[in-house]
A and B are shown apart, each in its own frame.
Chain A
């Protein structure tokens, strides 16, 4: 009897530990800078370089895409308002899907305000991506984590919105001119850029860049992929937007969607947090605590 009671007591002790242990890995949080180095002003002896952060909607934003439901979409503009961009040298490297926080050995605030960029227009410097901000005199090393926020623009063509997509969608002789306004705020906390070449390695006197990448196929799907492909299983497509068009025009915002088409609104709410990436690398969307 005594042994049974002791066994029960042991289980009671261990059970919360197991629960807390599991929960800890799933608890995302703000980046934690263990070594705060406002690196805009390193010591005079410290070797420094330049770090750019660029935004990229990929060829889907620049050249258009075919949605999962067969709409050929071309964008006039894809405005994204990006704010509070911070780059980190995290050790150990940060993995947004694994839980935990950025362990910053170096932290550079590349942009402490907000700026609106157009992902549909190639960069004026000849690159496909668009320059968001640049920080000079940053400590050298590999910046393997990046965070940024999406906030409503306070001025300009996207005023009041975090993302504005406008363009034309065509399917089977039908044309819809659309404007999709999104005013939801996001905060992306990302790991290392994944792509053709490694990014974010600043060498003495050199320049490197990081990329805030937006995957529009998460929203519209990919008409070239199998309908059963997971990218298409989760995507909205364009049919629900086209269904809201009147006289060939669809101009919708989130409030409208919520009242007119709650199901589409809900699906958008689930998809939007997964738009932000670093190349093919993943991010955690901190406000809703999802990764994508």
Chain B
């Protein structure tokens, strides 16, 4: 099963059954809470995953002290849930065998993490850490995106206009023949 689905399905399950579902069975009390996790994937620019690489997470309130330490899995993935009471840039550093990079993920207070802005795309022999892609569009890109949207509406309208015209011509032809 795709790794992402393994992550998504439990979250989807939690979403369906509410953010604070609980169950009691034979004296066992369980609580489930929906949280927003951040998944970081680190790989070398050759495409090889940075498996079992050293991960250090820094929270915005104390950027000098590691907030969480761990290692990536065999696919170079690392998932953590930031403390939403600490909005700001959460920094994730991944290192392995003298190669490393850091990605910064802006997290808004008590909300889902927003787009990361620090996807590292290094040169040869260097690792790549991928998280959410940046959404910093240039004005030109925004104008073109707008133009593309407008063009979509115009094209759709033209398509239906052509259909109406064809139908009316067909009806006119039929009435003349009949």
Residues of A whose CB lies within 8 Å of any CB of B are 3, 6-7, 10, 13-14, 17-18, 20-21, 24, 92-93, 95, 97-98, 100, 142, 191-192, 194-195, 198, 201, 217-218, 229-231, 233-234, 274, 279-282, 290-292
Knowing A92-B117, A93-B118, A282-B120, say if A230 contacts B125 (CB, 8 Å): yes
Expressed in whole angstroms, the Cα–Cα distance for A148 and B63 within the complex equals: 24
Comparing B11-19, B73-81, B137-145, the segment that makes contact with chain A is B137-145
The 11 listed contacts between A and B (C-beta, < 8 Å) are A3-B155, A14-B148, A17-B141, A92-B104, A97-B121, A217-B98, A218-B125, A230-B46, A230-B124, A234-B125, A292-B124
**CB within 8 Å: A-B pair count:** 110
Mostly, the B contact residues are: mixed
Min distance, Cβ A229 to any Cβ of chain B, angstroms? 8
Please tell me if the beta carbons of B123 and A282 are within 8 angstroms of each other in the complex: yes
Report the minimum CB–CB distance from B113 to chain A (whole Å).
Answer: 14
CB distance from B5 to the nearest CB of A (A): 28
- Measured in the bound complex, the distance between the Cα atoms of B155 and A13 in whole Å is 14
Query: Which residues does chain A contribute within 8 Å of B151, judged by CB atoms?
Result: 10, 13
User: Does B122 sit within 8 A of A, measured CB to CB?
Assistant: yes
| Residues of A with C-beta under 8 A to B46 | 230
Closest chain A CB from B137 CB (angstroms): 8
Residue ID in chain A nearest B140 by CB atoms = A20
CB distance from B65 to the nearest CB of A (A): 8
Q: Is the CB–CB distance between B100 and A292 below 8 Å?
A: no
Contact of B125 among A6, A201, A231 (CB under 8 A): A231
Chain B residues whose C-beta falls within 8 Å of the C-beta of A100 in the assembled complex: 136
With A93-B89, A281-B102, A282-B123: A198-B64 Cβ-Cβ less than 8 Å: yes
Knowing A93-B117, A194-B95, A292-B123 touch, does A282 contact B138 (C-beta < 8 A)? no
Q: Is B101 at the interface (CB under 8 A from chain A)?
A: yes
B119 within 8 Å of A (CB atoms)? yes
CB contact between A92 and one of B118, B120, B121, B147 (< 8 Å): that residue? B118
